[in-house]
């Protein structure tokens, strides 16, 4: 136990040291850019690191011995200045320095806001350095627990979102930096500032040579329309994996995380897109070696003759080795009579999911009720699929956004009256089983431009503006065509 606490304290101490060194250096960079002499900003940076550390400790209200030891070890020289004896752990446990501090994670710290303002004025990326080191520190504090509390993971995820939002409101680009760069040696803070001024240098090695930075993949996830809870689940999983990674690097015990997942929801809600991003997230964090997504369904897993199904399932696992195997409409495997080979496919999947749990992540998808029956069809499935992500139907506002994102790059336009027609069409679509969601928006757009083409062919004259203009009549006719095809 003592060794575990010491290892965790070392991890936090290293992250605190790096935060203080790099953030102090960014403040020096601001001073120099203003023509002033650099000063000693160590105490200011340490005070903000202390606030982050206390806030993360307070997030789950547990205040364990390991957390208090890490706090005293990392900030021993600072605590007396704050009126606290660094060797009085009991005093720390109940001190106002820790209690009610989780709120610090909900708004930009003073130094972070200062760096955002400087970046906006000077075109630098100093705030990205703070962001990087703050996330490193938050993960390090969470790594003090073998199994981080859900409240702590949620706080870290919200902290990331808050910082990114503050940078966005400041007009800054989102950081595209790895969240696991490794701690540099003491005294190397100026090297961290090599990225503090814009340059034309490439962002990094090609994707095939090195995993993408996690922030790049999470940016794509966050850019998806809607799916608020899904994004939160993926971000928290990424945080949990990063925490396990830190514990492993510092010879601390970890609890194995089950990565096989069930995605449930109607078609067109982004399940395949999120699965593809999930594969890239897992590769970025080293949980998967290649991060490709192999998509399949019943036809790719079930053969028509005796003895062929198991090898077919194994082939799919071979193709997905190092990545994610995505099985759409997986519930169809459990349908059929006693002679149906779908059951054999399920039995083979269950075995391979266990045998290859470190090299292949399986994601199965389908409707909510049907997937419940699928999981219940084999006792091994329930124990292997430990996470279920529910994809809600898109709201009308979200469908409007999706339609605009499809039509915009193709330079199609419409007036306010046509936009209201589009909204009315989406409102009228019942969100029942099988509703197409984003797929419906795409189909409606494609049908609308077909209707537009037919209208323009019959027109006496057609100008450039006509070629990119959609009308209410185009949309209404397109909706009628889609409705007729369903009948």
Give residue 311's pLDDT.
Answer: 95
pLDDT per residue over 296-316, tens digit each? 999 999 988 878 999 999 999
Query: Tens digits of per-residue pLDDT, 262-282?
Result: 999 999 999 999 999 999 999
**Which residues neighbour 165 within 8 Å (Cβ) at sequence distance 6 or greater?**
none
- What integer pLDDT is reported at residue 142 of this predicted model? 94
Q: What is the DSSP string of 103-114?
A: GGGGS--HHHHH
**Which portions of the chain are predicted below pLDDT 70?**
1-7, 78-97, 176-209, 337-339
CATH class of 396-486: mainly alpha
279 with 288: CB under 8 angstroms?
yes
Domain residue extents for the chain: 2-197+211-219, 258-390, 396-486
Residue 188's pLDDT is 33
CB crowding 139-167: b at 16 or more within 10 Å, else e: bbbbbbbeebeeebbbbbbbbbeebbebb
What is the predicted pLDDT for the residue at 84?
Answer: 54
> What confidence score (pLDDT) does residue 178 get?
42
CB-based burial, 358-372: b 16+ in 10 Å, e otherwise: eebbbbbbbbeebbe
Please give the Cα distance from 48 to 163 (Å, whole number). 14
Structure-derived torsion over alpha carbons of residues 428, 429, 431, 435, reported in degrees to the nearest 10: 180
pLDDT at 33: 83
Name the fold adopted by 258-390: Rossmann fold (3.40.50)
The model's pLDDT over 132-173, given as tens digits with 9 standing for 90+, comes to: 999 999 999 999 988 889 999 999 999 999 999 999 999 998
d(C-alpha 424, C-alpha 316), whole Å: 43
Quick one: pLDDT at residue 65? 83
Q: In what order do the strands lie in the sheet with 361-366?
A: 293-296, 324-327, 361-366, 261-265, 387-391
pLDDT reported for residue 4: 56
The values of phi and psi at residue 422, to 5°, are -60, -45
């Amino acid at each position: 136990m003592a060794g575990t606490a010491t290892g965790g304290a070392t991890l936090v101490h290293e992250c605190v040291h790096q935060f203080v060194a790099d953030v102090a250096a960014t403040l020096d960079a601001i001073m120099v850019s203003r023509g002033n002499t650099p000063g000693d900003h160590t105490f200011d940076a340490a005070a903000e690191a202390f606030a982050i550390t206390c806030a993360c400790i307070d997030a789950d209200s547990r205040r364990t011995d390991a957390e208090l030891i890490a706090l005293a070890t990392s900030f021993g020289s600072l605590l007396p200045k704050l009126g606290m004896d660094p060797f009085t752990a009991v005093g720390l446990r109940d001190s106002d320095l820790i209690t009610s501090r989780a709120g610090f994670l909900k708004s930009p710290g003073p130094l972070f806001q200062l760096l955002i303002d400087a970046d906006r004025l000077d075109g630098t990326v100093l705030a990205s350095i703070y962001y990087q080191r703050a996330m490193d520190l938050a993960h390090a504090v969470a790594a003090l627990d073998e199994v981080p509390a859900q409240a702590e993971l949620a706080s870290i995820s919200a902290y990331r979102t808050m910082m990114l939002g503050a940078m966005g409101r400041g007009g800054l680009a989102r950081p595209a930096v790895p969240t696991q760069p490794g701690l540099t040696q003491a005294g190397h803070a100026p090297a961290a500032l090599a990225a503090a001024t814009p340059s034309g240098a490439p962002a990094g090695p090609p994707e095939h040579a090195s995993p993408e930075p996690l922030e790049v993949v999470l940016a794509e996830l966050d850019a998806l329309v809607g799916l608020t809870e899904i994004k939160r689940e993926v971000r928290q999983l990424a945080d949990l994996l990063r925490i396990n990674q830190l514990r492993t690097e510092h010879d601390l015990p970890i609890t194995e995380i089950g990565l096989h997942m069930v995605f449930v929801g109607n078609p067109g809600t982004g399940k395949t897109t999120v699965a593809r991003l999930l594969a890239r997230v897992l590769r970025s964090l080293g949980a998967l070696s290649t991060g490709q997504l192999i998509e399949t369904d019943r036809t790719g897993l079930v053969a028509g003759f005796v003895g062929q199904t198991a090898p077919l399932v194994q082939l799919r696992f071979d193709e997905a080795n190092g990545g994610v195997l995505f099985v759409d409409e997986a519930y169809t495997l459990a349908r059929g009579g006693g002679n149906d080979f779908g059951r054999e496919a399920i039995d083979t999947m269950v075995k391979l999911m266990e045998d290859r749990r470190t090299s292949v992540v399986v994601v199965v998808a389908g409707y909510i009720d049907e997937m419940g029956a699928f999981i219940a069809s084999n006792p091994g499935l329930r124990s292997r699929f430990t996470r279920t992500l529910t994809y809600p139907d898109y709201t009308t506002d979200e469908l409007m956004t999706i339609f605009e994102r499809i039509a915009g790059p193709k330079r199609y336009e419409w007036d306010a009256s046509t936009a209201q027609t589009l909204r009315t069409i989406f409102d009228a679509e019942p969100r029942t089983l099988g509703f197409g969601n984003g797929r419906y928006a795409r189909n409606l757009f494609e049908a609308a431009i077909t209707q537009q083409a037919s209208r323009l062919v019959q027109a006496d004259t057609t100008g450039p503006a006509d070629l990119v203009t959609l009308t209410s009549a185009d949309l209404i006719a397109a909706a009628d065509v889609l409705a007729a095809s369903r009948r």
